[in-house]
Amino acid sequence: MIKSPRGLPWITNAILALLGFGLLALTKQLIVEFHHFTIGFSGVAGWSVILYALAAAVILTLPANRFTLPLIIGFAIAFRLVTLLPPPIMSSDIYRYAWDGVVQHAHISPYRYVPGDPALTFLREPNRDLFDHINRRDYARTIYPPFAQFLFYGITWINASVTFMKLAMILFEGLTVYALIALLQALGRRREEILLYAWCPLLIWEIGSSGHLDSAAMAFIALALLARLRQQPIRTGLFLGAAILIKLYPLVLVPALWQRKNLKMPFTIVGLAVFSYACYASVGRLVFGFLGGYVQEEGIKTGTRFFLLELIQHLPGLHTIPASLYLLVSAVAFAVLAFWSWKAGNSESTQPRPQFLQRVFLLPESAAFLPGALFLAFGMMLAFSPHYPWYVAWLVPFAVLLPNLPIFTYTLGLFYLSATSLGAGTLESEYRLNCILYTAVLLACVLELAVRIGYGRFVASRQRLA
């Protein structure tokens, strides 16, 4: 167990209260900025990151008492209540969630028609507040996988409004908090470190304000990590399978969470996928929705989406490097990383001594899979280089469990830079944004490595003296 730092816990609570009120004021300002410019979205985002960083430093270095966790959770709820009732500001994706649910209640597959299709005209007037705000409504079928559609159906069965959909996504955050607190305790850490998740401004904006579906994916990922720690392969498969069938990208976590010589988890994932897609199989290949169009629209097929490829193409003599070669090299690199993460995650059965990363992160043998999961998730985002901040929200739970400067730099850096003029969405601005972001991440990696090596040598020298 990690011992709590010495000091007076009331000082911790007083500082956190001040920082909490500051973040609450900034959360309110976020709503105001949409209608009346004061300090701009970049100002709100920048100051939010600063206050969050200070709060994180406080909770990681100062002592806590029985009042600290309620204080943290209370402010976390307040932040999200402020963003609950106002309409989404930064994204309109949530309108599609609710629309897909409404279409299903009319006994129509959400994959069959685009929202603007005449066949759905009878649903428009009763749901005009949803229809008018749907993006790509005239040419794109829904892109969301089957388990996401299960959620949309269930949520809109209770209430088919954007506000209730946002509330549901916030409640999924409650599941994430539950799982992360259980994981923190199992890792010998303090429950109060949940602040790293609960006060993260990226989540307040993208989940609390915009209600992104990533909240549900994060909840199932966190539950899958908890089930894996508890050696429950079927539950791990169910939770991870649900996350995959909500947002697809958690598929990269399979090697890290797969226990050696145990096929229960992968079979559970496959079974859940077969069942989920079978529920919508009446539309045939349309069940994959707008996925093909998204690949084309986002520049994944042409390679314009990938910052590292574009960076290489800016080097003399390498401007003709094709996207296919980048994807091939990335696939090979991920295969190697996946194999390593699988072996590392099963180290307790083959090696009596903890591996290097277990010692670095102070992990018990049962949690040997966590570093592999982190590297797979982080590596995918770096290679994929998403330009929407909510795409990287799923990295935050890993940053809570394995605190490290590179992931905080990446997630908070993308969050802040996207709120500046660099987030305009042009190819030039995205390239400049990523140049700044990836440089900062590289410097954070160097600093993190230097600090951990220095700390390791200090501990080793103390042990020799003892």
> Residue 297 pLDDT > 90, yes or no?
no
pLDDT of residue 466: 62
List pLDDT tens digits, range 232-283: 999 999 999 999 999 999 999 999 999 988 999 999 999 999 999 999 999 9
**pLDDT tens column, 331-359:** 999 999 999 999 988 865 444 445 666 66
Q: Choose between 203 and 39: higher pLDDT.
A: 203
- Model confidence at 361: pLDDT above 80: no
pLDDT band at 1 (very low <50, low <70, confident <90, very high): very low
pLDDT (mean) for 169-198: 97
Q: Above pLDDT 90, what percent of the chain? A: 79
Instruction: Please state the separation of Cα 376 from the chain's center in Å.
Output: 13
Q: pTM to 2 decimals?
A: 0.93
Phi–psi pair at 306, nearest 5 degrees: -90, 110
pLDDT at 459 over 90: no
217 vs 397: CA distance, rounded Å: 11
User: How high is the pLDDT of residue 48?
Assistant: 98
